[in-house]
Amino acid sequence: MNKALPRAGTGDIQIRAAVSDDLAALLHIENDAFSSDRISRRSFRRFLDSPGARILVACGDAGVYGYALLLLRCGTALARLYSLALDTGHRGQGVGAALLKAAEAAAFEADRIVLRLEVRADNRAALGLYEASGYRVLGRVANYYEDGCAALRMERLLHGPDLGSGRAPYYSQTTDFTCGPACALMAIRHFDGTFPTGPLQELTLWREATTIYLAAGHGGCGPFGLANALARRGLSAEVRLSPDGPLFVSSVRDPEKRKVLILVQEGYRAEAQMLGVARSGHPLDAPALAERVSGGAMAIVLISGYRMFGEKTPHWVLVHDADDRHLILHDPWLGHERHESPADAANLPVPFAEFDRMARWGRDGVRAQILIRKEP
């Protein structure tokens, strides 16, 4: 169950954290407010129990009459307002604005600095509320809702200086093993706006960068394989790796298969030297990486998936922008089971300290970075 929040009053409006006893009221509000795309009882119950969600309710003598549902993406400074709804009898009384303000405060308390949302393009009342509250439109998504209505994606910075939005396009991986190639595609497209992006290009890069595919699974896309693929496409790449040894072999028990994986990685390193890929055993910390990115570089960085989506797997992300306290990254993985959209995974602001914690993988705390530039 969600950690209780102190009751907050706005005039006659009382706002508090939802509890399981509010389930019936939440369903009543949902059915009263929406004719489609409704949250089910089962989903409400899951959100109530999830540490990554916050449900705030507006209530008074007449009971609960509105709610706001926040989703907090693990390991980032981003929150998403998944839903805000009122029953018919309490609209136009400032309840929506009070819930929105409380949701922003809850996101701030959870160390989030950006709140994002989707809203129906034809919902003038909601659009007016968000625009008056300082939200800006990020884009439009056709056929977002069940009835075919488009959605507008909006966001608001909750505190701090304006975040850079970067120029790298977002591309989500189409398989569960192509995070590295998806990041490479985004970087290539940033430096060459004519380069095509799609599953064929994604898998072509994967074939070039993957150590080898075996019956027991593949060895993963290594930094030198990715760097070589980028270098062959005209980009300057530098691999920073510590400890400087073979990757993704610890889970392979068969000694012959381990031998093959190590041999292939040695081949990538030799090819990297011929392609002019620079090499260092000293990965950059977040502030130093921010300085490089602010100077025009991009970085594909290995992180532990545990801090992003709760699974202890190696995962590549693209760092493409920075401010004085955050790295801005694209995560190619979309958690569809968590109702995620590209708004949840693109331009993620990650505090420096959090990034340095997540940018390590495995028992040895492997740190791997590929710095990318386009030389004039």
Please write the tens of the pLDDT for every residue from 57-80.
999 887 899 999 999 987 777 899
pLDDT confidence of residue 28:
95
Q: Is the backbone of residue 160 left (phi > 0), alpha (psi -120 to 50) or beta?
A: left
Reply yes or no on whether the pLDDT at 165 is more than 70. no
Selection from 141, 95, 93 nearest residue 117 by Cα: 141
CB neighbours of 47 closer than 8 A, spacing ≥ 6?
39, 53, 55, 69
Q: Higher pLDDT residue, 163 or 132?
A: 132
* Banded pLDDT at 8 (limits 50, 70, 90): very low
DSSP annotation of 159 = S
User: d(Cα 324, Cα 240) in Å, to the nearest integer?
Assistant: 23
Reply yes or no on whether the pLDDT at 287 is more than 80. yes
Dihedral sign (CA 345, 347, 308, 74): negative
Selection from 145, 192, 150, 140 nearest residue 168 by Cα: 192
What does pTM read for this prediction? 0.74
What are the residue ranges of CATH 3.90.70.10 in the chain?
A: 179-373
**Tokens 């800006």 — which residue?**
136
Instruction: Give the whole-number percent of the chain exceeding pLDDT 90.
Output: 62
Answer yes or no: are the C-beta atoms of 17 and 1 closer than 8 Å.
no
Reply yes or no on whether the pLDDT at 312 is more than 90. no
Answer yes or no: are the C-beta atoms of 187 and 167 closer than 8 Å.
no
pLDDT confidence of residue 159:
67
CATH 3.40.50.170 assigned to 179-373: no
CATH 3.30.70.20 assigned to 8-157: no
DSSP annotation of 132 = H
**In the structure encoding, which two tokens stand for residue 266, read together?**
């040695």
Reply yes or no on whether the pLDDT at 10 is more than 70. no
Selection from 182, 181, 120 nearest residue 152 by Cα: 120
**Tokens 């839903």 — which residue?**
83
User: Rounded to the nearest 5 degrees, what angle is found at the Cα of 63, between the Cα atoms of 62 and 66?
Assistant: 110
Answer yes or no: are the C-beta atoms of 201 and 189 closer than 8 Å.
no
Reply yes or no on whether the pLDDT at 356 is more than 90. yes
What are the residue ranges of CATH 3.40.630.30 in the chain?
A: 8-157
CB atoms within 10 A of CB 149: 15
Selection from 284, 318, 286 nearest residue 302 by Cα: 318
